[in-house]
Amino acid sequence: MTAHENATKPALVNTASGVVAGKVHDGVVSFKGIPYAAEPYGDNRFKPPQPPKPWDGVLEAFEFGPCAPQPPTYSLVDATPLYPWGTDCLSVNVYTPDPGAVRLPVMVWIHAGGYISGSAATARADGSVFAREGVVVVAMNYRLGVDGFLSVPGGIPNAGMQDVVAALRWVRENIAAFGGDPDAVTVFGNSSGSAIIAAIARTVAAEGLIHRAILQSPCPSLVVEAEEGRAVAARVLADLNIDADPRDIPLKELLGRRQRALDVRFRDAARWHPYTYWFSPYMPVVDDSLFTDSALGERIPPSVDLLIGTNRDEARYFLMRNGQFTSGTEQDLLDAQKAYDVPEACRGAAASLYGRLPLGEQLSQTVTNWIWRGPTIELTQLHAKSGGNTYAYEFAWQESPAFDGRYGAAHFLEVPFLFDQLDDPAFAPQVGPGAPVELGRALRDGWIRFATTGDPGWPSYDEENRRVMVFDTSCRVETDPREHHRAAWDTRSAVPAP
């Protein structure tokens, strides 16, 4: 049954765990809250994801499942929590133009949130806009914070990333029943979602789970080695006043402690160096099976086609919200440079490039260069050098009205354009009235074309030409559009060759 044949009769699909029923709306069949793993709490807490329990009869997949447990997250509009949570949170949502189709391209969305918040269980990750263009979209939840990205004693590292792998295995096993091609899977994500992709790509590609990857504003260098991961976990648990097994702390109390610690103590750079300017103590940890090598050159294998980029003013998203963009000090700048271990040559180059700007903007450029722009460009270059099919972009639309028009092309701003959510009240302060819908269409066209063919529609990236698609009011291909910033993060550019 196609999505147009019967807009009222539920669509039925057989999965490995049982039959699911989806809703048909506007040419798309959606299946929400399908379990891809068992509830990861109770006896399963701090363990690898366990198989979902099969069900008899028909599971009505009409409503989102709960988000992963997390402290309340609010939009800039009101005090309504964006992500209501529950413990039975490991589910996927599937959007398909036709469950009876054969071998449609598949796009799997991994949400952002700094490893501590976010969800796929929201209309803001609605894949319908892609499905109407002939793509099957899957969006997943995964464990967050202490349960997902902390090396808790007696637990496992990278539980949240193991959840993502379990969801990708579910896609491999089940997506053909929804009309998708298990041999044409593109993973895409923003921020921590794309950093997860960068961490697990080599492992999951070897298993045949992914074939292409779209990394939007990844932070691939914000990872820790195993020993440091255990040390960070000890610091976090101490800061949360947990001197015993965290399983003994009621979950709501644990989330409350986590929120208070992140809101107040974590912003003290003297106390939490270097992680204050990493913006989270939760992150991928190098282990012996899933994420085995932190070197950027060992992340995305050349067998995986790569589309990757950043936003022009990434750090403003964070520094506007915490006030540092307008109140930043010399000490803040020094703390950030220390956190990123910025070489003296790059500090000198940054002083020449940004020294006349207000301190908040100097801080913003430093954070943008060292968390996002520099590591992302390096990852792009390494993938191209290895022989991979590589494409680069920059999101440069700077007409947001947020924060008196100073928001610029901040972190995450491309997402409401990409998902055609410009009318969502939660995004209204960032995009404003009259945001160009054609910019979102250009993004989606490139993403869908890449997922379908491996070519987004502009020249590939190589070290000689460094061609980058710039998404703006007028989209265009430029050669290394941030070249003049390189000396601030690349010692090879900051120090002339002898």
Q: Please list the active-site residues.
A: 191, 314, 411
- Write the CA distances from 89 to 49, 57, 86, 141, 231, integer angstroms: 11, 21, 6, 7, 28
As beta bridge partners, residue 21 has 12, 60
- What is the Cα–Cα distance from 374 to 383, expressed in whole angstroms? 14
- Counting Cβ atoms within 10 Å, is residue 50 exposed (0-12), middle (13-18) or buried (19+)? middle
Query: What residue type is 2 in one-letter code?
Result: T
* Single-letter amino acid, residue 361: E
| Angle (nearest 5°) at CA 271 between 269 and 275 | 55
| Count of beta carbons in the 10 Å neighbourhood of residue 256 | 15
Task: Please spell the DSSP secondary structure of 150-195, one letter per residue.
Answer: S--TTS-TTHHHHHHHHHHHHHHHHGGGGTEEEEEEEEEEETHHHH
| Three-state secondary-structure class, residue 52 | coil
- Whether cis (ω within 30° of 0) applies to the bond prior to 274 is yes
Determine the Cα–Cα distance for residues 452 and 432; give it in Å rounded to an integer.
32
Three-state SS for 470? strand
Output the six-digit token pair for 375. Answer: 């590591």
What are the distances in angstroms from CA 379 to CA 73, 139, 148, 383, 388? 31, 25, 25, 6, 11
